[in-house]
Structure 1
Amino acid sequence: MVIERHVLTLAQWLSPAFPVGAFAYSHGLESAIASGQIATAAHLQDWLESVLLHGSGRTDCILLRAAHAAVDPTALAHIDATARAFAASSERLVETDLQGDAFCKTVSDVWGTDMQGYTYPVAVGAAAARTEIHADLTASMYLQAFASNLVSAAVRAVPLGQTEGQAVLAALTPTCERIASETAHTTLDDLSSTAFLSDIAAMQHETLQPRIFRT
């Protein structure tokens, strides 16, 4: 019953209905779509798999796990500062900062975790630790929610059919599981990112006109 409750809590935290404004962010996808780099479901799947394996997906997972294991507020502050320094562009920093702050406020109000101002993966990891939700479960569900939000953005912006979008998300599930498993024993020293096209797309989005998404 405890595991079921934890799954339901994470499902609530990572739901599109949770007030972090995830629907407003495309993580640079809007630029890639506007430039023609993503025009089909296959393009989207390849792009997101790269982001998950070599970019923000993996780095966020490492940061989340580090935050979950943080022994005191000083350690957590260091992890959060690292997350901010690791943001590849101003929009990436805005994305993780604003979503993290909104997450902290709601979780603190409802679950009494007394957190504020952390970046998004750090906030999720810290909240999971304080509510005794296992890091492995948190990491895998965070990655699935991350991919789900970007699929939703692409369904609206490419556009793609809902069924195509769900097929892409289902195909990415093993990748999410793999990353969650592979990062189980990582530290901040393992942070790296080679998803350069995604980072460039996020930078280009800063001047993209017209645009729908904040990032």
Structure 2
Amino acid sequence: MTTGIVMGTAMTTDAILTLTQWLSPGFPVGAFAYSHGLETAIATMQLKTIGDLGDWLEDLVAFGGGHADLVILAAAYRARPPEVAQIDATARAFAASADRLLETDQQGAAFARTVDAVWGTDLGPLTYPVAVARAARSQDIALDVTARMYLHAFAANLISASVRLVPLGQTDGQRLLATLAPLITATTERALATALDDLAAPCFAADIAAMQHEILYSKVFRT
């Protein structure tokens, strides 16, 4: 079997392909339907240009929902089975709005259903980062690579939503995603060294945007 080295971690090609499949836009978690509050920020003209979006996503990745999800993911990956339910409950309690809870609950449940059906696991309904963590653990996929690719998929999905909403050019969106790569790597390293008790997400504008989305008059996205 062919092997590769990713950030110093040996992984089989099959493991890398499995993780790529799970976090691809084609995996049926409905990620295309969620904007993480971006729809509100765009509707209220807080985000009008690719530069505005870049600033917003840098904060989300480094300090907001992206970083918080990785702290939860790491805790769930390292946990013993009896501890998983409490970590999942923490993830639900940490959701800053009904929209954020819907996002992590629905995507996590859809992810778990598909992985259980295809890979024969028994994840059950979990929040999204917890479900991805336990699936990766069950398939012996390295934590650092799982976390980094999860955060990359998080950023890619929000860029895709913004390309459709603003609208922005596809090339500009891909350029922004490439620019975020070093931040994604640095954030992953920091998140994996952060204890669940130190979980924080001080991106209040994003939290408020998610709350306001619940009463937004016209919506394209569920969150």
The two structures share one fold, judged by TM-score above 0.5? yes
Find the counterpart in structure 2 of residue 158 from structure 1: 166
Find the counterpart in structure 2 of residue 177 from structure 1: 185
Cα separation, 2, equivalents of 1:56 and 1:77? 20
Q: Which runs of 5+ in 2 are unaligned?
A: 4-10
Find the counterpart in structure 1 of residue 147 from structure 2: 139
Do structure 1's residue 71 and structure 2's residue 42 form an aligned pair?
no
Find the counterpart in structure 1 of residue 217 from structure 2: 209
Cα separation, 1, equivalents of 2:16 and 2:31? 20
Q: Which runs of 5+ in 1 are unaligned?
A: none
How far apart are residue 186 of structure 1 and its match?
Answer: 2.1
How far apart are residue 7 of structure 1 and its match?
Answer: 1.5
Find the counterpart in structure 1 of residue 8 from structure 2: none
1:85-124 mapped onto 2 (5 Å cutoff): 85-124=93-132
Cα separation, 2, equivalents of 1:209 and 1:169? 30
Do structure 1's residue 17 and structure 2's residue 62 form an aligned pair?
no
Aligned partner letter, 2:37: G
Q: Equivalent of 1:7, from 6, 16, 21? A: 16
How far apart are residue 17 of structure 1 and its match?
Answer: 0.4
Cα separation, 2, equivalents of 1:5 and 1:177? 22
Q: RMSD over aligned Cα, in angstroms?
A: 0.8
| Matched residues, number | 214
Q: Equivalent of 1:51, from 33, 44, 60? A: 60
Cα separation, 2, equivalents of 1:88 and 1:210? 22
User: For each residue in 1:64-113, what CA deviation from the matched residue of structure 2 results, as whole angstroms up to 9, or x when unmatched?
Assistant: 011110112x2000100000000000000000000000000000011111
How far apart are residue 195 of structure 1 and its match?
Answer: 0.4
How far apart are residue 184 of structure 1 and its match?
Answer: 2.2
Q: Secondary structure at 1:118's aligned position in 2?
A: coil
How far apart are residue 9 of structure 1 and its match?
Answer: 0.8
Contact 2:70 2:192 in 1 (8 A): no
Aligned partner letter, 1:106: T
